[in-house]
Amino acid sequence: MKKDKIYLVGFMGAGKSTLAKALATSLDWRAEDIDTLIERREHLAVADIFARHGEPHFRAVERLVLTDLLATRHVVIATGGGTYAAPDNRSLIDRDGVSIWLDVSLKRIIERLPPDGRRPLAASRSDMERLFHARQSAYRNAHVRLDAEHTSTGELVERVLNWLET
């Protein structure tokens, strides 16, 4: 496993984007956010991509963005909540770097998500609950699991740095 690239995986609202920035700063690496890169590529917000083009189009662009990132080293990548759930993406990620799962309960996720419609897959509580439970089995395949339920970003950075040193 290559330790010169980190992919943060987990459900929406787990804190992947926040941790990616903090961890990249500590490592003096770049931070990238797959959802942000998709929005730039499509010139649309994620919610608008889903509304106008549907989830299959979003997933296809997500795969292109992921593939574009393969050559980049010394980077911390915040994946989208569904990126690692796709077996082909999971395989690419696990061969390319370290996958770290930010494990957060559904209750905590619900507390963190803003009710503003920016998260299209969170529009229906029951659908979101099914999606959360369905993705857990994929996330469990990550190289590292971090309990991010009530852990500060600083503590998570320290745990990752300690793990990288081993």
Which secondary structure element, helix H or strand E, spans residue 76, and what is its range?
Answer: strand 75-78
Structure confidence at residue 110 as a pLDDT band (50, 70, 90): confident
Mind listing the pLDDT tens digit for each residue in 48-65? 998 899 989 999 999 999
The yes-or-no verdict on residue 109 having pLDDT over 90 is: no
All domains of the chain in start order, with CATH: 5-165 (3.40.50.300)
Mind listing the pLDDT tens digit for each residue in 35-45? 999 999 999 99
Residue 142 CB-density burial (10 A; 0-12 exposed, 13-18 middle, 19+ buried): buried
Number of H helices, E strands in the chain: 8, 5
What's the whole-number mean pLDDT along residues 121-140? 81
Q: What is the pTM of this model?
A: 0.91
